[in-house]
């Protein structure tokens, strides 16, 4: 990543359009995500309000990697508002395909783990990953995530085949 | 259950208030559910629209057990709208405490399994259950659900202690 200028920042309202463009692109580029091929079904206005409203929350994070104005990587953490589940951060990571294999996922994950350690709230990070996505699984293991179980028929591929999906988690604090 | 007259029906808009009363009651009666103690945070109007809108859907079900006008048990199945996940039904069951141990959960689950087998869409049912809730786990095992994994710190109890939560699933069709 030495030659690429990449900025990391927390998503704000003004990032909504670039974020939606990113999601549309990754939904086409990979069959490893659960999104439909059209990308995310949200309006820029609603998403902008969502980004702005979660800026002050201790258990929600949307971290962007940008190259110029373009979003090339995203790490999102969402948590349930209910007291009994608010300590669990559900992690989503995606990187634009031209930037795969350059450490961008790893950099995003390190930022997010640092953030999670600083919060009062987050005590568990969890994620699901298709069992066939060996690069992502290796990344998560490298950062301390452990396999907790495997969901049979946990997702479908584009061609309709059932896929195993791993549940992985890392305890925080 | 021989002496109780219990009706099973699919929830409609008119059931919204009785349903919310039920959720408030079970949230107080048990610490086995993830709800906050206030119950469900929804208006009767929004819930009524939700019930009516899901009546025609092939992968959503809200089944009520009623004693007279009172809801005493609920089995809800929800599924993601995304193509890659629409075959997965997420199961929620709750029964009012005075009716525990009388086979009501079992009856609800049998109805739901029959329903799921008739759908075109549902190919997997999944649920989470606190590891300490041995009666519920026994019920799910009896009906063919298998343990897929255990989430460490998967929930908090009312007194703030971390709880293990099992992920269980049953393949359909």
CB burial of residue A10 (10 Å; 0-12, 13-18, 19+): middle
pLDDT band at B41 (very low <50, low <70, confident <90, very high): confident
Residue B111: per-residue pLDDT: 95
Q: Which of A115, A81, A139 has its CA nearest to residue A8?
A: A115
Q: Does residue A135 have a pLDDT over 60?
A: yes
A158 contact residues in B (CB cutoff 8 A):
84
Pairing of strands B162-171, B146-156: antiparallel
Distance of alpha carbon A20 from its chain centroid, rounded?
A: 14
Task: Check residue A48 and report its DSSP letter.
Answer: H
Comparing A71 with A1, which gets the higher pLDDT? Answer: A71
Query: What three-state secondary structure class fits B58?
Result: coil
Distance of alpha carbon A59 from alpha carbon A143, whole angstroms:
20
Quick one: pLDDT band at residue A94, thresholds 50, 70, 90?
very high
pLDDT in tens, A31-86: 999 988 888 889 999 999 999 998 888 999 999 999 999 999 999 999 999 999 99
Q: How many CB atoms lie within 10 A of CB A111?
A: 16
Q: Which of A165, A82, A131 is nearest to B169 (CA)?
A: A165
**pTM of the predicted model as reported, rounded to 2 decimal places:** 0.94
pLDDT at residue B36 is higher than 90? no
Residues 6+ apart with CB under 8 A from B165: B128, B129, B130, B131, B150, B151, B154, B155
| Closest listed residue to residue B21, CA positions, set B41, B39, B5, B34 | B39
Are A151 and B126 an interchain contact pair (Cβ–Cβ within 8 Å)?
Answer: yes
- Check whether B2 has a pLDDT greater than 70: no
Our measurement of the distance from residue B28's CA atom to the centroid of its chain's CA atoms, rounded to an integer in Å, reads 16
The mean of the pLDDT values for chain A is: 94
Alpha helices in A55-155 (DSSP H): 104-118, 134-142
pLDDT band at A2 (very low <50, low <70, confident <90, very high): low
Q: Which of A27, A34, A84, A171 to mutate to test the interface with B (most CBs of B within 10 A)?
A: A84
Both tokens assigned to B38 = 């206030």
Q: Give the Cα-Cα-Cα angle A82, A154, A130 (nearest 5 degrees).
A: 100
Q: Is B105 on the interface with A (CB under 8 A)?
A: no
Biggest alpha carbon–alpha carbon distance for chain A: 45
Q: What is the ipTM of this complex?
A: 0.93
> Which residues does chain B have within 8 Å of residue A150's beta carbon, measured at their own beta carbons?
148-149
Average pLDDT (A108-129) is: 97
Query: Alpha helices, DSSP H only, in chain A?
Result: 16-29, 44-54, 104-118, 134-142
Token pair 């990543």: residue: A1
- Taking only Cα atoms into account, the Rg of chain B, rounded to an integer number of angstroms, comes to 16
User: Is the sign of the CA dihedral B42, B48, B52, B55 positive or negative?
Assistant: positive
Chain A residues closer than 8 Å to B158 by CB: 84
């Amino acid at each position: 990543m030495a030659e690429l200028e990449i900025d990391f920042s927390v998503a704000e309202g003004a990032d909504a359009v670039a974020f939606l463009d990113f999601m549309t692109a990754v939904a086409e580029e990979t069959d490893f995500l659960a999104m439909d091929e059209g990308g995310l079904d949200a309006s820029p206005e609603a998403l902008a309000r969502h980004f702005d409203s979660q800026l002050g929350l201790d258990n929600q994070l949307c971290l962007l990697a940008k190259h110029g104005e373009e979003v090339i990587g995203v790490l999102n953490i969402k948590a349930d508002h209910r007291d009994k589940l608010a300590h669990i951060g559900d992690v989503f990571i995606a990187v634009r395909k031209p930037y795969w294999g350059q450490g961008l996922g790893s950099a995003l994950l390190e930022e997010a783990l640092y953030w999670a350690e600083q919060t009062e709230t987050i005590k568990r990070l969890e994620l699901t990953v298709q069992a066939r996505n060996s690069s992502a699984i290796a990344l998560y293991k490298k950062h301390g995530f452990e396999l907790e179980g495997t969901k049979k028929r946990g997702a479908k591929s584009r061609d309709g085949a059932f896929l195993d999906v791993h549940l992985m988690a890392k305890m925080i604090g």
